[in-house]
Amino acid sequence: AQTVTQSQPEMSVQEAETVTLSCTYDTSESDYYLFWYKQPPSRQMILVIRQEAYKQQNATENRFSVNFQKAAKSFSLKISDSQLGDAAMYFCAYQDNAGNMLTFGGGTRLMVKP
């Protein structure tokens, strides 16, 4: 079974600075998808960014980008120019090629200091 590990239970960043959240995963598959979800205090799960394993190019979405290292099975999220609204729980998730389920990491709580 696939496992997803987020080794940083909590992180903090100063407003306007950059922070990187770590995620590692374990799989024997070669084709899969990886996602970062944001969960603010409202509890809503919001899709932030996705990465297809067959793509070498790292995904970017505005201030959010990933560093995908397939051989190392690492998928980190970089948030640039951090804003107060970025404060939330962030979950890394793995999806196999069949697309039937997501396997989530335990989450990282990000605090943004003004």
Partner 1 sequence: DAGITQSPRHKVTETGTPVTLRCHQTENHRYMYWYRQDPGHGLRLIHYSYGVKDTDKGEVSDGYSVSRSKTEDFLLTLESATSSQTSVYFCAISDLGTFSYEQYFGPGTRLTVT
Binding site for partner 1 (CB under 8 A): 4, 33, 35, 37, 42-45, 47, 50, 52, 91, 93, 95, 99-102, 104-107
Long-range contacts of 39-43 (CB under 8 A, 24+ apart): 39/88, 39/89, 39/90, 39/91, 39/107, 40/85, 40/87, 40/88, 40/89, 41/88
81 vs 106, beta carbon nearer partner 1: 106
- Whichever of 20 and 103 has its CB closer to partner 1, that residue is 103
Tell the smallest beta-carbon distance from residue 106 to partner 1 (Å).
Answer: 5
Q: Which is nearer to partner 1, 33 or 64 (CB)?
A: 33
Contacts of 70 (CB under 8 A, 6+ apart): 53
**Closest distance of CB 65 from partner 1, Å:** 18
